Amino acid sequence: MFLLLLPSFFSFTHSCVRTIPPDDYYPTVPPTQMPTGPPITNPPVTVAPVTNSPVTNTPEDQCTACDINPLLPVNPPAGSRIDTTEIAAAGECKQTRVDCTRTDGQTCDIAIRGGTTVLQSVTNMETVSATLTCEMNGMYSSGTANGITTLTCEFTNCVTAVPCTACDINAISPNGLPAGQMFSSVDTTPAGGCTTTEVSCRRTDDQYCTGVSITTSYLQATFDDITGGPYEIASTLNAGLVMVGIGCEDDGNYSVRIVNGDNNPFIFVNPGFKINLQTDGATDHVFAFKITWTPIPNAPQNIIDVARGNPPVALQPNQNLTIFRGNPMVSLMAFTLPDPSQAYLLRQSAIYSGDTFIGTLDQVLTSMTPLTANKISIYTFGLSVDYPLYMASDYEDTRGIMVYEGANCPVTGDCSILLQGSWGNAMTVTDYNGTEVIRGFDGFPGTAVINVYENQVSESTRIATLTSDNYFQQIPLEVKGVMKFYELNGHGLCNMTVTRL
Ligand SMILES: *[C@@H]1O[C@H](CO)[C@@H](O)[C@H](O)[C@H]1NC(C)=O
Ligand SMILES: *[C@@H]1O[C@H](CO)[C@@H](O)[C@H](O)[C@H]1NC(C)=O
Ligand SMILES: *[C@@H]1O[C@H](CO)[C@@H](O)[C@H](O)[C@H]1NC(C)=O
Ligand SMILES: *[C@@H]1O[C@H](CO)[C@@H](O)[C@H](O)[C@H]1NC(C)=O
């Protein structure tokens, strides 16, 4: 399932202000942005009673008797094939699926015609299918086409597919952004997979903005007829950053996607959202998803005032609506999971600034940057894990840190903690009441210094200052206390291995 295709980005940041808190208001809980009523049910279908007029059995017999084979083209076009599959149970009226498929790796605009009528068509795909129904008169129909006697597959505008590793993020990145704005991208391609990239637009100064968005000049909507642009693909409110994950498609263009086969829920709290469906050209077209409407429960509020100079307040997900209140501004950061393959759990969250839904913990984590507002509320929909997922800190205490995140490690074994200093100073925090041992570094940048603090960041709680020249003499290094702060000052990427005792 893909949402949008986007060959080129612009980024717009608008109405940026210098950390002046927006109106001081609480969310009126529960935020009732989702429909709270019962799902709309279709009126019951009443089947007309069978009348007692004489019944002849012949028509019913004929709808099991259609034969698809005489309708098929004798020679399908070179580089293609046509397949049929009977999908009705034996003895029932026949339903036959017809697939027109490229076999030469090309993608085309494909149409299946019944006589002269187009039964189904797609653009720039490898395959298309149509379902034909056998009628009482013994003839096939499909949609508005009745009495079909011939089927043809028509392939036009064929192009050789570009591998989904061929996308070039540099080709679509914005150039010449105004001072104080930065576009960045991180390659997140899984081993052997299609190219995926995390893109973000952020402020590099201390401004946050009432709106930040990433837009594209081009959009292909599958079932919608949209022209014009630019199209917004991601946006945030009252923030200094917006980010979105994009994936490379088989045509060498990027798209924002939700991929079939992901069985974990996505939670949308926006009052409206749009999903464009498109199969990925595979020959198996099975695709399913379910939308469940749930009113947001009237959760108890847990108000936490966050003060300057204190360590961040880290919390496990809980049943409350947690409200972090700043003086005047608060920053919210998310934690990685002990098992990175469970990162989808962070999607089960809603974050509000005032009454406005601004995103999920998943987005905060992938953005790697604090989310800033004067009050931030978090609700986690009954999510239950025994490690922290988010933390809040005074905004002033997070200033100047380009990447700030929490890390959870497995109870046993080596844990890789990434200090992501590619854009400047970075901070990674663990929240674990026990000793953590720094065992080593996979690449220690000569351009960075790593400070290690126990319980809070201060001169007196700093237990080590590591550089590329001296770190080797200092490890293994035991870090005690509850919160542990690994601060990268300078520039560079540093992968640190720790174990917990
Ligand atoms: C890929 O992007 C280009 C514009 O850069 C567009 O012309 C082309 O149609 C796109 N391909 C598809 C399959 O959307
Ligand atoms: C939930 O909020 C109440 C106050 O409303 C507080 O007493 C309680 O400790 C909170 N629970 C958690 C798990 O934060
Ligand atoms: C940390 O663990 C120690 C010993 O197990 C305990 O005394 C202390 O209260 C714990 N601290 C916190 C903040 O949980
Ligand atoms: C960090 O190091 C570990 C162990 O050496 C490795 O498995 C992991 O892929 C590395 N991560 C990054 C982002 O380099």
Q: Counting beta carbons within 10 angstroms of the beta carbon of residue 13, is it exposed (0 to 12), middle (13 to 18) or buried (19 or more)?
A: buried
Residue predicted with more confidence, 368 or 458: 458
Pocket of ligand 4 (CB under 6 A): 416, 418, 442, 495
Q: How far is CA 79 from the centre of its chain?
A: 36
* Closest atom of ligand 2 relative to the 315 alpha carbon: 14
Above 80 in pLDDT, residue 87?
yes
| 240 pLDDT more than 70 | no
Name the closest ligand to CA 311. 3
Q: Which pLDDT does position 134 carry in this prediction?
A: 94
**Residues 394-398, mean pLDDT to the nearest whole number:** 93
Q: Which of 273-277, 293-297, 345-349, 411-415 has the lowest mean pLDDT?
A: 273-277
Ligand showing the shortest atom-to-Cα distance for residue 254: 1
Task: Tell me how far the alpha carbon of residue 147 is from its chain's centroid.
Answer: 45
Average pLDDT over residues 62-70: 92
Quote the CA–CA distance of 115 and 143 in Å, as a whole number: 13
Is 320 touching ligand 2 by the criterion CB < 6 Å? yes
**pLDDT at 224 (0 to 100):** 29
Which 3 state secondary structure label does DSSP give 353?
Answer: strand
pLDDT value of position 43: 43
Task: Find the ligand nearest to 191 CA.
Answer: 4
Q: Whose CA is nearest to atom 10 of ligand 3?
A: 433
User: What would the mean pLDDT of 122-143 be, rounded to a whole number?
Assistant: 91
DSSP 239: B
pLDDT at 252 (0 to 100): 66
Tell which residue, 408, 338, 327, 335, has the closest CA to residue 378: 335
Helix, strand, coil fractions of the chain, as percent rounded to 5: 10, 45, 50
- In this prediction, residue 195 carries a pLDDT of 81
User: What was the pLDDT predicted at 8?
Assistant: 32
Query: What is the CA angle 73-79-81, rounded to 5?
Result: 40
Least confident window among 44-48, 152-156, 464-468: 44-48
Distance of alpha carbon 356 from alpha carbon 375, whole angstroms: 11
Q: What is the pTM of this model?
A: 0.57
**In the predicted structure, residue 360 carries a pLDDT above the cut 80:** yes
Provide mean pLDDT across the span 31-56.
40
- Enumerate the domain spans of the chain: 2-23+173-257, 58-160, 301-500
Question: Which of 387, 433, 484, 500 most suits a substitution to test ligand 3, by most atoms within 8 Å of the C-beta?
Answer: 433
Å from CA of 193 to ligand 4 middle? 18
Q: How confident is the model at residue 264 (pLDDT cuts 50, 70, 90)?
A: low
Tell me, what's the pLDDT at 160? Answer: 79
Q: pLDDT higher for 14 or 57?
A: 57
315, 320, 391, best to mutate for ligand 2 pocket (most atoms within 8 Å of CB): 320
More confident residue, 199 or 27: 199
In whole angstroms, give the CA distance from residue 147 to residue 135: 9
Distance CA 474, CA 429 (A): 20
Least confident of 133-137, 164-168, 327-331: 164-168
Q: 318, 378, 389: which to mutate for ligand 2, most atoms within 8 A of CB?
A: 318
SS3 for 396?
Answer: helix
CA angle (78, 82, 87) in 5-degree steps? 170
Banded pLDDT at 498 (limits 50, 70, 90) = very high
Name the least confident of 288-302, 353-367, 439-453.
Answer: 288-302
- The pLDDT value given to residue 314: 97
Smallest-distance ligand from the CA of 417:
4
Q: Are 35 and 289 in contact (CB under 8 A)?
A: no
The rounded percent of the chain whose pLDDT value lies above 90 is: 42
CATH of 58-160, one of 1.10.1660, 2.60.40, 3.90.105, 3.30.70: 2.60.40
Of ligand 3's atoms, which has the minimum distance to the CA of residue 482? 13
